[in-house]
Structures are given as structure tokens and as C-alpha cells.
Amino acid sequence: MLKEMLSLIGPKRRNQMLALVPLMLLASLLEIVGLTMVVSVCAALADSAGAGENPVMAWLRAALHISSEASLTTAILLALIALYAFKIPYLAWENYMTAKFIRTIRHEMSTQLCQRIVHSPYPFFTRHSTAEVQNLLGQDTLQFTAGLSAYMRILMEALVVLGMGTCLLLIDPAMTLFLTGGIVSLTVLVRVILARPIREASQRQRDANRGRWKWLHHIVGGIKDIKTGRHEDYFAGRFAEASAECARSDYLRQFWIKLPTLCIEGVMVFTVLLYMLFFVRTGRRLLDYLPSLSALAWTAMRLLPAFSRINGNLTQIGYAKASVEAIRRVMEETAAQQDAARAPQTDVAISTGIALRRVSFSYEGRPNPVLRDVDMEIPAGAAVGIIGPSGAGKTTLLDVILGLLEPERGEVLVDGIPVGQCAESYLQKVAYVPQDTFLLDDTVRSNVALGEGPDEADDSRVWAALKQSELDQMVRGLPDGLDTYVGERGVRLSGGERQRLGLARAMYQDPALIVFDEATSSLDLETEAAVLRSVFRLQGKKTLVIVSHRMTAIEHCNVVYRVHDGTVFEEKSGSNS
């Protein structure tokens, strides 16, 4: 799992992670030196209390050329004060650097995933729900970096345990081996027992968190239907169920983290007490072993939280596994798109038109094709109408024309070039106006000039586009004009106003091809007639593809195609059904 995580963060961040190791090593060394100095103080106190000559103190007196025990004790205490004066700010700085590294990794991972997802082919979004993508960019990247941080903290704590264990081994080998053997055995046993429950709880937590987002999206997106149907309790209940499962998996995680700690704490306390009881029962004076027992007590106090954090981090790694696997799957799924994006693309102007040659398409999991052997011509500058009953495949046909869906057989040609070889250039020259216009929770200006910042948008072009869509007078009457916020999904606008704002966006782009997918269906007849007059004034200058149930929308088209039962055939221009 660590190898997989390191491969996902890239060589630059791997090197930075390695550079943090010496910082953590020094932090561990400071802990070890602190322990040694505390042991020295205890040894000095033992000597002054008549516990006998201590070899550690004898060596320090010889090394520092100090004969007075009081002077030596004073020197050690001053050194200990100096050590902690340096240690505390250093550890704060080391924690800052580590936290900065981890947060940077999360930012880059989220950004990279977002870039890959946004540039993924359209079918990616038919396989992955909004809640799943949101969970991937939020909870999964959080768990990923938490797991990576856990590995780093385990390394640091392991260095502390190793250093302190070595010092303790030199002071009391038998006690150290006895204590270490018990703790390590218990840790391994607990990890083996908890591995499966933690893995299952991790997946449950991920699924529950995705469920929370799913029901929340349903509530926000379908609030009108929910309100008019009086379904509030049902949707609130489904959200509550998912939220309860999240809470359940989270408190189980806290339980799995705490359980090993309690077990290890019990082992350490029982071991120390049994060791002291052994001394008492064998008739030995505890004062004679004060330095060893002090070091043992001090080390136990430091090792207990160290082992606690190691076990907690091991649990966190277990919980991160499902998220790491989800991120890896998406990275692999989008890798082909990254390669395709680097492939050379041909520039097209849609100067001769678009052609479909023997195109067939089926959705995954559906036995019958939606489109079969479609031949179609869309000449440059022409207005082409597409009609047909609901469910006949009109929207699928548009998605194929736009290059969003790749045909199973046949090909789509733009100026005689396969759309796959010119997709980037082609889509830059296309405007798409759907039946339900997507609007940002932003200003009128930002919605018309989609993809451009406030400082980049050309207000004169924005007003011209609004005029073409019969919306300029309404916007001029707003208190903030172009700076008026339309609300989430355009909730502050009427249905017709939202649709006309989508039309204005298409006009602002000044594309070579404009595709209308039932774009005027929510407009009243008078407004539709005015908008269509503006649209058909572009005939000859722009290529127009218009899908509509209303014959008034296609009566001025040069050619009309009918979609029926997966087949497409040409009808006379403007003919009725």
C-alpha cells in the first residue's frame, strides 16, 4: 500500500518526503537525549542518597572533569533545561513542515484528480455519480493523505521507540527484552485480529459518506418535486440513515484505535509492577536500582503514547486503504485520456460541414442499439432540424455529433477529418444549448461569459448576446444589472429566463456550430418566435442543428432528419410529423 501511495504522489514529492526523514530522526534523537539526561539526574540523586557509585555518573565526572556531585547535578539540570528550550520550538517547526507537506499533497492530489476527471470522456460521467466524484475529491483525498501521514508518524515513533529501547537495553537488558517481547507480541496479535474489521469498516464508512452526498444532492436538485409531493420525511430519513452509518463507522474506528492502546498500557503497567514486586520479594533494595527503575518509569511514560500513536496510525492506514484503491482506479481509468490529450490534434474550422458514416451506438448494459447505421450530412452554414418521439435517440445522436460519445461502428467526420483527431479544435467552435440550462451560482455576466473571469468578459458582447436572446431589457431592469446573482441553478430566475440566458451564452461564444436541444421548449410562443428570428438570422453564417418537438422551431431549416427506432432518415425541409 505504501508503494502504491508513493507512486501516486510522484517523484518530486517522494524526494521531499525523504528529506523530512532527517528532521524526524533529529526529533527522535532529542527524545533519546532527553531520556539519557533524565536517567543521569536520577543517577546523581541516587549517588547523593547513598545508593553507591554509578558507572554513568563516574563516566560523566571523568569526561567533564567535575569532582563535586552537586556541580555535576547542576550541570546536567542546566543541560536538560537547554535541551527542552531547543526541543520544543524544533518539534513545533518539524510538525509545521510535516503538516505543510501533507496538506500540499492533498491539494495536489485533489487538483490532479479534478483535472483528470474534467478532461475525461463524457461516458466517465455516466459511470460515476456526482456524489461519488465529490466523495473522491473530498473524503478520499483526506483519507489518502491521512494514511501517508500515518506512515511518516509511524517512522518517527518507531525511531523514538528504537532509541529509547536501546538506552533501556543498556540499563536493564532483562527488563527491556521482557517488556518489548510482550508489547510486540500483543501489537502483532491485535493487528491480525483487527485487520478484517478495520478493512470492512473502512469500506462501510466510504460507502456511507458517498450515500450522504447522494441524498443531499437529491434533496437540493429535486426540492420542488419533494415539496409538491410532500416527500420531505422520506428524503430526510434516507440522509439520516447514511449519516448514522457514517457516525457508526467513525466511532468504531475510534474504538479500534483505543483498544490496542489500552491493552498495551495494561501490559506495560503490569510488567513494571511485577518487576518491582520481584525486587521486593527477592530482598533487594529498590534504592539500589533507582536509576534503572526511574529510567524504566520515564521510558514507559514516553513509550506508552508512542505505541498508542503507532497503533492509531496503523488503524488509520487500514481506513485509508479503500480510498487509496478508489483513487488508483480513477487514475488508471483516466490514464488513457491523458495519453490522448498529448496526441497531436488537427485544427478544423467547420468550413465544409459534418458527416456521419454508418454510425451505430449502444449504451453499456442495453441489448439493443440506440442508433443503427446512421448516415447524415450537416453542411456548413445550413440549418438542420432533428425531430422524433421521446426516447427515439435524438439526444444520443447529438452527443455523437458533438464527439461526446464514440460510435461502436462508423465514424463522424468534421471537414472530412475523424472527430477523434480534431476534437479539441472542434469543440472550441461549438455551442450547446440544452433543454435544462446549467447555470452557475454567480452573476449574469459570469453565466453568459462562461469560463471567463469578471475582468476577462467583454460587456459589450454580453449585452449583444442578451439582446439576441430577448433578455437585455429584463437584465437592464435589475438593480445590479450584469452583476446580479442568479442563485444556485438560476433559482432567482423564471424557467424562460434561465433558458434565454443559456441562449445568450451560446451567442456570446460566437461559435461556428450551435446545437439546440429542445432549447426553446420552455419559452412561450411569442418569446420563442422572437428568439428563433434571432437564431435564423445566423443561417448561412453559422451552422445550426435544432432538435425540437415544435414544428415552428424547424420550419425554416434547410433539411430535417427524423429519428425513429434507432434509424435516421431525411424528411422534406420543415415538414410536419
Residue 569 has pLDDT above 70, yes or no: yes
Pair 439, 498: CB distance under 8 Å:
yes
pLDDT of residue 56: 55
Average pLDDT over residues 530-547: 83
pLDDT of residue 67: 66
Per-residue pLDDT band at 411 (split at 50, 70, 90): very high
Residue 52 has pLDDT above 80, yes or no: no
- On whether the pTM is more than 0.75, the answer is no
> What stretch of H or E contains 572?
none
Per-residue pLDDT band at 153 (split at 50, 70, 90): confident
pLDDT digits over 508-527, tens only?
888 899 998 887 776 777 77
- The phi and psi torsions of 109 (rounded to 5 degrees) equal -65, -45
CATH of range 2-210+244-337; options 3.40.50.300, 3.90.1720.10, 1.20.1560.10, 1.10.1040.10 = 1.20.1560.10
Q: How far apart are CA 499 and CA 503, in angstroms?
A: 6
pLDDT of residue 338: 63
Neighbours of 95 (CB within 10 A): 12
pLDDT digits over 317-355, tens only?
888 888 898 899 888 888 876 665 556 678 888 889 999
Per-residue pLDDT band at 43 (split at 50, 70, 90): low
Per-residue pLDDT band at 565 (split at 50, 70, 90): confident
Average pLDDT over residues 161-170: 72
pLDDT digits over 66-85, tens only?
766 677 677 777 877 888 88
pLDDT of residue 378: 92
Residue 220 has pLDDT above 60, yes or no: yes
Q: How far apart are CA 56 and CA 475, in angstroms?
A: 86
Q: How far apart are CA 544 and CA 374, in angstroms?
A: 19
Average pLDDT over residues 157-165: 76
CATH for 353-571 is 3.40.50.300
Q: Can you give the residue ranges of every domain in the chain?
A: 2-210+244-337, 353-571
pLDDT cut 90: percent of the chain above it: 10
> In the chain, helix, strand, coil percent, each to 5?
65, 10, 20
Mean pLDDT of the chain: 80
DSSP secondary structure code for residue 542 in this structure: B
Per-residue pLDDT band at 254 (split at 50, 70, 90): confident
Per-residue pLDDT band at 576 (split at 50, 70, 90): very low
Q: Do the domains spanning 2-210+244-337 and 353-571 agree at the CATH topology level?
A: no
